[in-house]
Amino acid sequence: MFPIDLRSDTVTRPSPAMRAALASAEVGDDVLGDDPTVLRLQERMAEFLGKEASLFVPSGSMANQISIRAVCESGEEIICDDSTHSYNFETAGPAALSGVSIRPLRTPRGIFTAADVEAAIRPDNAHYPHSRLVIVENTNNRGGGSVWPPEQVAAIRAVAERHGLHLHMDGARLLNACVARGLQPVDYTQHVHTLSLCFSKGLGAPIGSIVAGPRPFITRAHRFRKMFGGGMRQAGILAAAALYALDHNVARLAEDHANARRLAAALAEMPGIVLDPATVETNIVIFEVDPRLGSAADFIARLRERGVWMLPAGPPGRVRAVTHLDVSPAQIVAASGILREVCQSAA
């Protein structure tokens, strides 16, 4: 039963069946372009996401960073929400690796509008950076797993096209959004030029992400994957895990969402916790801790002593819990009981 690890959906461990798929994978040398399992994954993902081609990379951060580098030139600018992963959690990669700046928007739960983008685009003036790229993150992590409406992405694409901007989707948890809304990936991907998707979060693979888009973009992204140190050799072992995850772990994301709603409903009734359960759309639960319960760090430390693991979520007093395939409904019940005890003991 313990620990109940709700820190992230990245903590999942490969199941025995996934490990068997890894062990039996047919492999080659992916840097030389002849790993058959990687090639099969890339072909499948291009079709699945409705794009001409795709590229297997080690991580979501690399997926985003090579996408930025493949699109932007030094001195250009990215428009995104100030909660976006590329802005907050990729060690200033846009500046360090591509020489570009960020024009952050501040919008509810990370979901901005076409009008927000239009207002942020720089005038054509030598004093300003050149607006070049828009990033939408779906689902939005710091927004509590918020889901983008496809029509809102389509409206942003129209603005991007009108102004000559490239639209990229950080779709690390895109399949969570699709399962939550009953949509197919192409319902979103048809509206973006390029996207990334992560296999090592809700899908439960140990490593790997995909970048997808037009073939010339993928050819250029492949060059930057090599430049950034992402060329892997017998990567079919990892691609096999991603293929297994696609076959077995997509529909079950609904179970994670149900567990998140159960946790949110319990939290909302606890003294000293501020949370609107209606904001929990997928597998991420973000709540605020009243100061009388101590800081978020204190609260998390008390939980950890009792076997429930969570992480702080940005501003002081905010805590994040993430459900995933290694957390059962029974563990959600147990975690809720421990949370209630901690809240009542400090109230």
> Average pLDDT, whole number, for the chain?
96
Contact, 150 vs 252, CB < 8 A?
no
Residue 62: alpha-carbon gap to chain centroid: 12
Cα angle for residues 322, 286, 241 (degrees, 5° grid): 20
Q: What is the Cα–Cα distance from 287 to 303, expressed in whole angstroms?
A: 14
Rg (CA), the chain: 20
CATH 3.90.1150.10 fits 252-346, yes or no: yes
Predicted confidence (pLDDT) per residue in 56-105, tens digit: 999 999 999 999 999 999 999 999 999 999 999 999 999 999 999 999 99
CB-based burial label for 28 (10 Å; 0-12, 13-18, 19+)? middle
Q: What percent of the chain has pLDDT over 70?
A: 99
Contact, 235 vs 303, CB < 8 A?
no
CB-based burial label for 107 (10 Å; 0-12, 13-18, 19+)? middle
Q: What is the Cα–Cα distance from 222 to 247, expressed in whole angstroms?
A: 26
What's 10's DSSP letter?
T
Helix (H) or strand (E) holding 240: helix 236-248
Q: Which of 249, 216, 246, 200 is nearest to 57 (CA)?
A: 200
CB-based burial label for 318 (10 Å; 0-12, 13-18, 19+)? middle
Predicted confidence (pLDDT) per residue in 181-226, tens digit: 999 999 999 999 999 999 999 999 999 999 999 999 999 999 999 9
pTM, 2 dp: 0.96
CATH of domain 16-248: 3.40.640.10
Task: Give residue limits of the domains in the chain.
Answer: 16-248, 252-346
What's 291's DSSP letter?
G
